[in-house]
Chains A and B, each alone.
Chain A
Amino acid sequence: MNALFRGASYGAVIITAILSTIAIGIWFERKFAGRMQSRLGPTIVGPVGLFQPLADVVKLLQKEDIVPRDADRSLFDLAPILATLFALGAAAVVPFSATAVTADLDIGVLWILAIGALMVIPTFMAGWASNNKFALLGGMRAVAQAVSYAVPLVLAVMVPVILSGTMQVSGIVQWQQQHHWVALWPVIPGLPAFVLFFLAMLAESNRIPFDIPEAESELVAGITTEYTGAKFTLFYMAEYVHTLVGSAVGASLFLGGWDGPFAPGLHWMVLKTLLLFAAVYWVRWSLLRFRSDQLMDLCWKWLTPIGVFLVLAAATWVQLMPGGR
């Protein structure tokens, strides 16, 4: 019971931390995008526009909740809730410091992948239940993309698992603490695996250059076309949660988690996660969108074979380096 209580309280703290980080993250993204496009970003609400996300949330929650007449009502309502739930779910096994982890499962990595695979269900549900051509097309594209990019994602994640010999996320971090960060050494497969993970994560969370499912110039707003008010807010938030949790996973699996020079601890993990999060937005505001077929080409003709090679390389490395790995 004690462990359950501890897990629940850590979980509550971590969820609160993620959600408040996202509010600031949205502000940061808008400022950052503004800088990249030679404009100021939000400036009116609060000092340097810091309260803008709060104003946005209040505005969105006040909006009328419109449900299309022919929508499948229960699925339409369920989809945004499930999307947020699954996006938050992966955070349960991510250790933010040596002790701050909600549930330190021995199959942590598998849990992350499984929850990631579940994300396609609410996406599809929303696209289908909206009873709208654009939403359905967006939903199908999103599912096709997520299912395809799950393959390189799994392969990339296999590299730290093979190197450290455990699927427990905290175990992988401890191994990196004792040896070296996976992204740094061995250079092959470590660094390319990290890049592969980053690309697959961008695709899984539907971020530019992989935001085909939304593609506002073609599909209005993809699966969120018919969503308004609070439900739209949930979808919007789920997307940011997905990116943030993905960054945290990347930081723990490839960048040594809470490990760092001087004093290892929570601050290093937070720093790495936020840097990865910022990198996602750096890419987002720098690049253009891929075309749908280019996206599939990249996944199946490049990323997947590279992933297979990296897994082989990791296994070879473990075999050739006796004991030391």
Chain B
Amino acid sequence: MTASVGFGFMAACTLVSAIFVVRSKNLIRAALWLGATLLLTAALYAMLDASFLAGVQVLLYVGGISTLLIFGVMMTRKHEGLVVEAETVNVPRGVFAAGALFGGVAAAIKMTPELDSGVRPPVVTANDLGRGLLIDHVLAFEVVSLLLLVAIIGAVVIARKRDPGAEVPGFVRRPLAAKASSAKPVANEVSP
């Protein structure tokens, strides 16, 4: 009983902070709320005896992804002053997508007969997970890592300039000579 009350409380906290993520006008605050949401999700995992998953969730999502998001906001947006504005768009579509996802997951849970038996599932330890990933399902694991490799190479290709001499759109290359000639009159003014 105490456990389910605790779980309900944590789930409610997760939901509230998730609402703050989408309702926050300040993008940095939204990113920090997202960090809090992911942290609370990790707490839910820990309560469900999936402690390894909880640890990885904190390490990768809270430590990695939310930091990346913050970096992204800071590097792409002009931040004059403190508030980086976020606008809320497509509310009905968002609500529909969230509702559909919730309905799908809820239906899947309802249709799983094992959940009604009341038997607590066995605790999967980090050891079991390691064996599963690196011995039993090693091929699938490696294919996933190949996918990540493809993503990294893709990112590098997109980020790299195609040709060092090529014109970058929106960037006017000013020859060095022009700069030097524009600097000259100033020098003359200083020492006539």
Contact = CB atoms under 8 A, between A and B. Distances in A.
B86 interface: no
A114 B58 CA distance: 6
A290 B29 CA distance: 32
B159 to A, nearest CB: 16
A205 to B, nearest CB: 16
Interface string B78-100: 00011000000000000000000
B112 to A, nearest CB: 27
Contacts of B81: 70
B64 A121 contact: no
B32 A125 contact: yes
B41 to A, nearest CB: 13
Given A75-B32, A110-B52, A110-B55, A131 B67 contact: no
Contacts of B64: 117, 147
B81 to A, nearest CB: 8
Which of B26, B55, B62 lies at the interface centre, i.e. has the most chain A CB atoms within 10 A of its CB? B55
B74 interface: yes
B29 A114 contact: no
Contacts of B55: 107, 110-111, 113-114
A107 B51 contact: yes
B138 to A, nearest CB: 14
B125 interface: yes
Contacts of A147: 63-64, 67
Given A106-B51, A147-B64, A118 B32 contact: no
A121 B35 CA distance: 9
A88 interface: no
A128 B63 contact: no
B67 A110 contact: no
Contacts of B28: 128
Q: Is the interface of B mostly helix, strand, loop or mixed?
A: helix
Which of B39, B63, B64 has the largest number of chain A CB atoms within 10 A?
B63
Interface in A171-211: none
A248 interface: no
B56 A121 contact: no
Contacts of B151: none
Interface string B44-79: 000000011001101100111011001100100000
A156 to B, nearest CB: 15
A140 interface: yes
A110 B59 contact: yes
Contact of B63 (A71, A105, A114, A167): A114
B34 to A, nearest CB: 11
A140 B32 contact: no
B115 to A, nearest CB: 26
15 contacts: A70-B82, A107-B55, A110-B52, A110-B59, A111-B55, A114-B63, A117-B58, A117-B59, A120-B67, A121-B35, A121-B62, A124-B67, A131-B82, A143-B70, A147-B67
Given A114-B62, A140-B74, 13 more contacts: A70-B81, A105-B51, A106-B51, A110-B52, A114-B63, A117-B63, A120-B63, A121-B32, A121-B62, A125-B32, A143-B70, A143-B71, A147-B63
Interface of A: 70-72, 75, 105-107, 110-111, 113-118, 120-121, 124-125, 128, 131, 140, 143-144, 147, 150, 167
Interface of B: 26, 28-29, 32, 35, 39, 51-52, 55-56, 58-59, 62-64, 66-67, 70-71, 74, 81-82, 125-126
